[in-house]
Amino acid sequence: MQVKSLVAVAGGGLVERRSFLRKGLSLGSLAVAADALHAESKPSAPIGDQLPRPMKTPGGGDAPYGLPTVHESKVVRTESRTAGFSVWRSPLQAQRGIITPSGLHFATHHNGVPDITPENHSLMIHGLVDRPLKFDIESLQRYPMVSRIHFLECAGNSAANALSITALDQSLGELAGEVSCSEWTGIPLSYLFREAGVKDKGAWVIAEGADAGSHARSLPMSAVLKDGFLALYQNGERLRASQGYPMRLFMPGWEGNVNVKWLHRLEVVDGPAFTKDESGLYSQVLSNGQIERFAFHMEVKSVITHPSGTQQMPQAHGFYEISGLAWSGRGSIAKVEVSTDGGQSWALANLHGPVLDRAFTRFSIPWQWNGKKAVLMSRATDTTGRVQPTRQSWKARYAAHSFNHYNAIQAWAVGKNGRVENTYA
Amino acid sequence: MQVKSLVAVAGGGLVERRSFLRKGLSLGSLAVAADALHAESKPSAPIGDQLPRPMKTPGGGDAPYGLPTVHESKVVRTESRTAGFSVWRSPLQAQRGIITPSGLHFATHHNGVPDITPENHSLMIHGLVDRPLKFDIESLQRYPMVSRIHFLECAGNSAANALSITALDQSLGELAGEVSCSEWTGIPLSYLFREAGVKDKGAWVIAEGADAGSHARSLPMSAVLKDGFLALYQNGERLRASQGYPMRLFMPGWEGNVNVKWLHRLEVVDGPAFTKDESGLYSQVLSNGQIERFAFHMEVKSVITHPSGTQQMPQAHGFYEISGLAWSGRGSIAKVEVSTDGGQSWALANLHGPVLDRAFTRFSIPWQWNGKKAVLMSRATDTTGRVQPTRQSWKARYAAHSFNHYNAIQAWAVGKNGRVENTYA
């Protein structure tokens, strides 16, 4: 394969996508000449000997509910646990596209996963309403539903990068895998609140889960009526137990724990309850000593998924596609810039459609690696104009021990040997 | 709950969506007054006795690869098998939204599911090319990839409705479950063919799978270069074995079997090969005796998923949301009309976004059922102006024994007792 010239768009080998597509791939020799393949088979051998083994015997069976192949058994979530608190991180470095399969969706449990029999579960709406109501699953199934592709991110995602003084040499999933994206289906909460009749003073809602942590959060009623829905389905099927089966609150773009799982109670109140969850874990100290409460939105963020931390690039130089995910709890992604020289120069990445509101957006850019040290970065901007901060600027805003809502630029150092490592560079 | 008046948009109780949303739900009494709930607990009982059981003991564990809850174990694919031929149908009547979870994606196997070790698999491009090439998985992972949300439908989907003289009383999944929709990710085949260099006479491609059926199909090169990609991922993770692991051909909008699974060979040729698969199973006799070959596109089609065949509507009258799926192999869905009086009157359904090219599109319309017999129908129109035919008109086009590419309007009869049944009415 001959290497053709490409139009550079930034330092370090980032190339212009259209020239890249027009001029053909300058991939060096990724493919092997098929003559070599033919030479492997003896010309005198019967044709059957040249066929792959699976073509010579009937294949195996399938299952009523299909599972991943055993050859991909390493692609799983990783758990970290402290007391009853358990976090399952999604292997983002293995994901392509924008949909996270439900089996790999991140999960945070404050006191384990309750096993709820749907017939024994109901949702109560009470407090400052005209008519306290109780909804069982069968009746909820008759309501009009909406489906939305949205990301969901834990407030504490990327905590290690916020807290650790040196950059931990971990995979992307281990560092920032508390975020995923699914198609969620459910009933707009405005329908249910309209039936109950919210009184004038009903400005807030307390959402409580039926779990052993009795996780509870207060939400402004106006936001819930505008955007909130009662999610019953994820990626086309009923919720998994670890995602709140039989029902959860869903607030697009808001920090994960507000999307209360195993929801059984919505109490309309006149002000926030300052529950243990919102006064403790999910409040955050600023660098000036003030406390930031009810910071619901997850801010604009992006990560390069390919190549990423702990990966070994298979060849010392040549063509690679840099690819990653961007999202914002404030709206859609407007642009993503990529640098391979540690932020000295930047180029616009290609955004893959559909670019959806408060959803993962896939970006990519062609990269001709020269085999020298490189530092890869991505910087996303959302439709409100917000831009990802540097780590330094994020750290300046918060107290040293704060770690929630970390959305600083993620950098990957590429060594001459092709190894990729987390860096604060 | 008081029942409010709604604007009718067609006979049989179809109501206008905006008036429905503006005036509030007229759902009769789906919800139960929560006072009844309170009355159940004795006032003197300790508060703990009033809590749901899962709030009183710590929850269980989670798994590295999550699975559906045991409470939804009935939501599975159903198999029908003839000799080595096996079809797994997706339970569309249980799906909400547009994404089918990979575990429930339909599958057709001509000779079982091969177990392919990825390190032993490669894709060969040969025939009328300048440079025959062989691609292994590791090298393919470096190519630029695209992600697309597309439906996939078996040519023989809905065969029972095409062939059976009386309408079979089956569920939607059993009748028409050989269609699903996923996010597929892979490498545009134009990149790989450009590397190999297609000779001028190379007008067709033979795609062969490494399965024991040695399934092979011929495709026009122009279409493959425009639209075809080598799919490596489905819904964010590597392909399931039953979907072609480690790689399959993907041709958006074309009949399922053309999307050759376990792809190991693309041979560039000057004309179609008339393989056993395309000369036999996937050719179809018209009513005038002529044979229709290479009818690649799946035509515009829709089905109402809620309510649908064999379901029992839980109440004799009142509010329901009619919801369903529409798709076309020719483009996007332009509109879906719904009738509840057997096609005497029609109303426009609401299309839920994103409305994507050659993908499932969810539609819905509010329905105030009066408790009398009803016949529900949906009729989709795509962006090329093609409209779903009636069963009668579809049957007139093809010979009596033909059953591929059946896309006629699906009708559901609702009895006074609320039972829903397949009908040709």
pLDDT (tens digit per residue) in B206-241: 999 999 988 999 999 999 999 999 999 999 999 999
CA atoms within 13 A on the CB side of B259: 30
The fraction of chain A above a pLDDT of 70, given in percent, is 92
Q: Which residue of B has its CA nearest to A209?
A: B55
| ipTM summary value | 0.94
Q: Using omega within 30 degrees of 0 as the cis cutoff, is the peptide bond preceding A354 cis?
A: yes
Chain B closest CA to A170's CA: distance in Å? Answer: 18
Quick check: helix, strand or coil at residue A18?
A: helix
Is the pLDDT confidence value at A32 over 80? no
Average the pLDDT over B294-299 and give the result: 96
Residue of B nearest to A26 (CA): B195
Best residue of A15, A71, A146, A360 to probe chain B, by most B CBs closer than 10 Å = A71
pLDDT, tens digit (0-9, with 9 covering 90-100), for B359-378: 999 999 999 999 999 999 99
Residue A3 has pLDDT above 50, yes or no: no
Residue A47 — pLDDT band, cuts 50, 70, 90?
A: low
The stretch A149-171 carries a mean pLDDT of 97
Examine the pLDDT at B331 and tell me if it is beyond 80.
Answer: yes
B114 chain-A contacts, CB cut-off 8 A: 54-55, 59-60
Average pLDDT, stretch A21-31? 58
Task: Check A212 against B55: CB less than 8 A apart.
Answer: yes
- Asked if the model's pLDDT at residue B43 lies above 60, the reply is no
On chain A, the residues whose CB falls within 8 A of the CB of B320 are 142
Lowest mean pLDDT among A38-47, A218-227, A318-327, A367-376: A38-47
Give the alpha-carbon dihedral of B244, B245, B250, B255, to 10 degrees: 10
Least confident residue range of A262-266, B112-116, B282-286 = B282-286
| Candidates B95, B237, B315; nearest CB to A75 | B237
Cα separation, A110 vs A87, in Å, equals 9
Contact B65 A71 (CB under 8 A): no
Question: Which segment of A86-95, A202-211, B242-251, B274-283 scores lowest on mean pLDDT?
Answer: B274-283
Confidence of residue B21 (pLDDT cuts 50, 70, 90): low
| For residue B2, pLDDT beyond 60 | no
Q: Is the pLDDT of residue B351 over 60?
A: yes
Band of the pLDDT at B36, cuts 50, 70, 90? very low
**A:316-355 residues touching chain B, CB 8 A cutoff:** 319-321, 323, 352, 354
Is the CB of A107 less than 8 angstroms away from the CB of B66? Answer: yes
The full set of domains in chain A, from first to last, is: 85-292 (3.90.420.10), 301-423 (2.60.40.650)
Q: Which of A220-234, A304-318, A385-399, B326-340 has the lowest mean pLDDT?
A: A304-318
Whether the CB-CB separation of A70 and B117 falls below 8 Å is answered with: no
Per-residue pLDDT tens for A102-114? 999 999 998 999 9
Q: What is the mean pLDDT of chain A?
A: 91
Which chain A residue lies closest to B103 (C-alpha atoms)?
A66
Which residues does chain B have within 8 Å of residue A183's beta carbon, measured at their own beta carbons?
97-99
Mean pLDDT, all residues of chain B? 91
Among residues 90-109 of chain A, which lie with CB inside 8 Å of chain B?
94-105, 107, 109
- Overall average pLDDT of the A342-347 stretch: 97
Contact residues on chain B for A31, CB-CB shorter than 8 A: 133-135, 139, 192, 195-196
* Beta-carbon separation of B54 and A211 below 8 A: yes
Mean pLDDT over A176-182 rounds to: 98
pLDDT at B406 over 60: yes
Task: Name the CA dihedral angle for A320, A13, A161, A309, rounded to a multiple of 10 degrees.
Answer: 30
Q: Is B116's CB within 8 Å of A54's CB?
A: yes
User: Looking at residue A322, what is its pLDDT?
Assistant: 97
Neighboring chain B residues of A109 at a CB cutoff of 8 Å: 59, 62
Does B194 sit within 8 Å of A24, measured CB to CB?
yes
Q: Is A291 exposed, middle or buried (0-12, 13-18, 19+ CB in 10 A)?
A: exposed
Question: Among the residues of B135-176, which ranges form H helices?
Answer: 137-140, 159-163, 172-176
User: Could you tell me where the beta strands, DSSP code E, fall in B270-425?
Assistant: 284-285, 291-292, 301-306, 318-327, 333-339, 347-348, 350-351, 361-369, 374-382, 411-414, 420-423
B236 → closest Cβ in A59, A95, A320: A95
Q: Which segment of A5-19, A137-151, A163-177 scores lowest on mean pLDDT?
A: A5-19
Query: Is A59's CB within 8 Å of B124's CB?
Result: no
The answer on pLDDT for A200 being more than 50 is yes
Q: What's the pLDDT at A213?
A: 85
Q: Which of A412-421, B35-44, B251-260 has the lowest mean pLDDT?
A: B35-44
Chain A residues 5-64 with a CB less than 8 Å from chain B: 24-25, 27, 30-37, 52-62, 64
A287, pLDDT greater than 90: yes
Q: Which of B15-19, B98-102, B162-166 is predicted least confidently?
A: B15-19
How far apart (Å, rounded) are the C-alpha atoms in residues A140 and A248?
A: 13
Which burial class, exposed, middle or buried, applies to A163 when counting CB atoms under 10 A from its CB (0-12, 13-18, 19+)?
A: middle
What does the pLDDT look like over A85-103, one tens digit per residue?
A: 899 999 999 999 999 999 9
Residue to substitute from A69, A70, A250, interface B, most B β-carbons within 10 A: A69
pTM of the prediction? 0.94
